[in-house]
Amino acid sequence: MKPRLMLLLVFGLMLAAAGCLSDDKKLTTVSASPFGKVGRTQPASFKQAPPATQEIALRVDRVGKQITHANPQSITPKVVFMTIGQPHEEIFHQTQKDVGTIYITEGLAKQCKTDGELAAVLSQELGKLMAEQMVQARPVRSPVPANLILNSPLGNDIGGADRTNDMIAARFEKEWQQSRQALPAPPPPPETLARTYLSRAGFDPKNLDTVQPLLRKAGKQSSVELSMTGKN
């Protein structure tokens, strides 16, 4: 076969392979960072979030970092803030591996007249995210098996007594004592966590009272979240 014909054949096979790749296997990014970095890569079921104006995105990032940097021991794992270019009020969060992401629409960020109000909105969502993390990290008390003694052999094959019964009784006593140990207290309400974050970051916690109407309005919106997760 002539070299030129071979080249055309290979090129044709490459085009065919590219055309056969289904949309479901292609990847897209959720959003782009205002600093020009590529956003997180998600399956195609996640639609691309429209970018916000740079001014608003930078403001959200700056205020968000002020909060997290002032609460290094309380806010774990890493949390990043993403602004979505939508005019309505909406805020939500997602956790992926070791990174929590708080998404806020440009419309909601613009409604915050001061950085204190914006910090309050972000801190409230941070409180929800951290409360969820605390619940997941809480140890789960294992129940003592009811048949631990009833279904266990208590002697040897020839009917003589041995230490099996003592071992089972000791294990039962240990597990029963562990089951009586008090579990850690449940996490504080998200609002309590939010006020702590605000205070440590140099913001007035009373800003959380000011933005309650905004939070209630944002709580009724979930179109962007549903769209990004492919549930819309």
The pLDDT tens digits of the residues spanning 37-90 come to 333 333 333 456 788 999 999 999 999 999 999 999 888 889 999 999 999 999
Contact (CB, 8 A) for 200 and 81: no
Q: How long, in residues, is the chain? A: 232
Q: Where are the domains of the chain?
A: 22-136+188-228
Predicted confidence band of residue 35 (pLDDT cuts 50, 70, 90): very low
Of residues 111 and 77, which shows the higher confidence score? 111
Q: Is the pLDDT of residue 12 over 70?
A: no
| Range among 31-35, 121-125, 130-134, 171-175 rated most confident | 121-125
pLDDT value, residue 227: 87
Residues 6+ apart with CB under 8 A from 142: 175, 178, 179
Judge whether residue 176 has pLDDT over 50: yes
- Which residues, including other chains, have CB under 8 Å from residue 203's CB and lie 6 or more apart? 67, 115, 116, 119, 120, 123
Beta strands in the chain (DSSP E): 27-29, 41-43, 78-84, 91-96, 99-105
Residue type (1 letter), 30: V
User: Contact 70/201 with Cβ under 8 angstroms?
Assistant: yes
Confidence of residue 117 (pLDDT cuts 50, 70, 90): very high
Write the CB contacts of 65 (distance below 8 Å, at least 6 apart in sequence).
81
Bond into 72 cis (ω within 30)? no
On whether the pTM is more than 0.85, the answer is no
Residue position matching structure tokens 């979930």: 222
**Hey, which of 22-26, 63-67, 169-173 has the most confident mean pLDDT?**
63-67
The pLDDT score that the predictor gives to residue 164 is 64
What percentage of residues in the chain have a pLDDT greater than 70?
Answer: 60
Q: Can you name the residues that pair with 104 across neighbouring β-strands?
A: 83, 91
